[in-house]
Amino acid sequence: MKALCWNGINDLKVERVPDPYILNEGDAVVRLTMSSVCGSDLHLLDGYVPTMKAGDIIGHEFMGEVIEVGPGVKKLKRGDRVVVGSVLGCGSCEFCQSDQWSLCDNSNPNPEILEKAYGYAGAGIFGYSHAFGGYAGSHAEYIRVPYADHGAFKVPEGVKDEAAVFTSDAFPTGYMAADMCGIERGDTVVVWGAGGVGQMAMQSAYLLGAERVIAIDRYGDRLAKAKQYAKAEVLNYEEVDILEALKEMTGGRGPDRCIDAVGMEAHTTGMEQYYDKAKQTLRLQTDRPAVLRQAIMACRKGGTVSIVGVYGGLLDKFPMGAAMNKALTLRMGQMFAQKYIPKLLERVAAGEVDPSYMLTHKWTLDQGPEGYRMFKEKTDNCMRVVFTPSQ
């Protein structure tokens, strides 16, 4: 089959690779109809996620048609139209049983790598390096889906592919960001990053009772979409001082809940950007925490900072004093796909949220390298490029 493979930093190629097959009894093989790019893929392209190997297939937000199931699969059959969560969970360990699927004890066959880095390893993730299990990703014609009964969900009739595909990753991640905030009626929620996950976090904040949502980014088209579709007030951090603006907008009190939907490659302005970029380049810090610093500083006393932007390693100049002395709650994690996807599919089917506006470019798999270039450089108002491998 054809697949989009990582070959090194900023080096993607469409290659011929062997077709996947049923390896374990709980596997399914899915023919991919849609596979989206995600902001966290850019960390792979930029070389900030170690343990990638030349030839690895990337991509983790996807949907398709089941073409084969292993003998242990009970809920799915050939021909089912499914969306698959980006994070793998076995369904039977204590973490999966308590709905904390990204902490699964069994779905990462290479735990020793993360055990060294983090103390304990979390779940495997499709197409996201050997540290996260070495699973082949979704930018391909076919994919093997382990633990298929737990991770693949039938798409309700009437939900179009363009909306369903984002319930794989962007929507559940954004929803979990809002859920972790512990939103109370009347709250003001600020979301840093108006990309796919940020847009979904904004809409989810309203679903969970927020009164007001404020979006921060530097791209006009993303802020315009945040305003139009997610009913957010918007701030461009290249034009205003974010801390001052947020203080002013909240009567001097500060926003109640702050969501970081950016992660380790945050951009900011002035000296801070040069400082972080230099330290990251020299490997004196692995991640650039400009957004996280801002969120902690901006948050009102006793508020919540919720982090779904991906971080990999170590941060510098982390304002721990502010977090401690303001009694902030910090919550974070890779998303619990299997916990949220069924509920979110229902919400999409009911017409409460339509994530399809995030799909700005629908391309063939052969256009993969070009699609990622565009997504990375954010040209042509690109928000999400979706590949259609079997069309």
Q: Choose between 173 and 286: whose C-beta lies nearer to Zn ion.
A: 173
CA angle 234, 235, 239 (to 5 degrees): 145
Distance of CA 385 to the CA centre of its chain: 14
Six-digit token string for 24 = 């374990």
Q: Choose between 137 and 255: whose C-beta lies nearer to Zn ion.
A: 137
CA distance readout (Å), 99 to 9, 93, 129, 138, 190: 35, 10, 24, 24, 26
**Sign of the C-alpha dihedral computed for residues 262, 268, 272 and 278 taken in this order:** positive
List, as one string, the DSSP characters of 195-216: SHHHHHHHHHHHHTT-SEEEEE
Type of residue found at 351: G
Q: Choose between 48 and 299: whose C-beta lies nearer to Zn ion.
A: 48
> In 3-state terms, what secondary structure has residue 369?
helix
Backbone angles phi, psi at 34, to 5 degrees: -145, 140
Give min distance, CB of 108 to Zn ion, in A. 10
Six-digit token string for 167 = 């319930």
Helix (H) or strand (E) holding 173, with range, is helix 170-180
- As a three-state string, the secondary structure of 42-77 is HHHHCCCCCCCCCCEECCCEEEEEEEEECCCCCCCC
Q: Choose between 43 and 257: whose C-beta lies nearer to Zn ion.
A: 43
Q: Indicate the length of the chain as a whole number.
A: 391
Helix (H) or strand (E) holding 178, with range, is helix 170-180
Helix (H) or strand (E) holding 349, with range, is helix 337-349
List, as one string, the DSSP characters of 95-126: HHHTT-GGG-SSS-S-HHHHHHHHSS----BT
Q: Which residues bind Zn ion (CB under 5 A)?
A: 38, 40, 89-90, 93, 96, 104, 106, 169
Phi/psi class of residue 56: alpha, beta or left (left: φ > 0; alpha: ψ in -120 to 50)? beta
Q: Choose between 166 and 237: whose C-beta lies nearer to Zn ion.
A: 166
- Neighbouring C-alpha atoms within 13 Å toward the C-beta of 305: 26
Q: Choose between 140 and 234: whose C-beta lies nearer to Zn ion.
A: 140
Q: Choose between 182 and 312: whose C-beta lies nearer to Zn ion.
A: 312
Give min distance, CB of 197 to Zn ion, in A. 7
Give min distance, CB of 176 to Zn ion, in A. 12
Give min distance, CB of 166 to Zn ion, in A. 10
Q: Choose between 99 and 241: whose C-beta lies nearer to Zn ion.
A: 99
Q: Choose between 91 and 182: whose C-beta lies nearer to Zn ion.
A: 91
> In 3-state terms, what secondary structure has residue 240?
coil
Q: Choose between 127 and 303: whose C-beta lies nearer to Zn ion.
A: 127
